[in-house]
Amino acid sequence: AQRVTQPEKLLSVFKGAPVELKCNYSYSGSPELFWYVQYSRQRLQLLLRHISRESIKGFTADLNKGETSFHLKKPFAQEEDSAMYYCALSDNTDKLIFGTGTRLQVFP
C-alpha cells in the first residue's frame, strides 16, 4: 500500500542551524514526491516537487529510491521557516497521499 511516513511530529532548532525534515515513502512504482508547507494562519501551499529539482527558500529535497526517502533540508534555518511541513506522494493518479506532518520551530 502507498504510504508516506514523517517520523517527527516536532523539530526544534535554533536560527542558523541546519534542518532536515524526514520523509519516507512506500510505493511500488515510480513516485512523484512533494513537500507542502503551512505557515501560521495560512493555507497549505506547495514548497517543492522532486521532479523539478529546484531550491525554494533555501530548501532542497533529493529523492533517494534506494532508501525510499525524500528528506527536506536547509543548511541555515531562519525564524520565518517555522511552519508545518507535509511530505506527499502521487501515485500517478490525480490524488496526493500525505504524511502526518512535522512542525518546525526555529528559535531566535
Decide: is 56 part of the binding site for other proteins (CB under 8 A): no
Decide: is 98 part of the binding site for other proteins (CB under 8 A): yes
What is the CB neighbour count within 10 angstroms for residue 49? 19
Among 34, 59, 70, 85, binds other proteins (CB under 8 A): 34
Given the complex with other proteins, which of 2 and 82 has the nearer CB atom? 2
Q: DSSP string spanning 57-81?
A: TTBEE--BTTTTB--EEESS--GGG
Minimal distance, residue 42 CB to other proteins, in Å? 8
Given the complex with other proteins, which of 11 and 44 has the nearer CB atom? 44
For the record, the C-alpha cell of 69 comes out as 526517502
Adjacency order of strands within the sheet including 19-21: 19-21, 72-74, 60-61
Minimal distance, residue 45 CB to other proteins, in Å? 7
For the record, the C-alpha cell of 38 comes out as 503551512
The residues of the shown chain that bind other proteins, judged by CB under 8 A, are 4, 6, 32, 34, 43-46, 49, 86, 90, 93-101
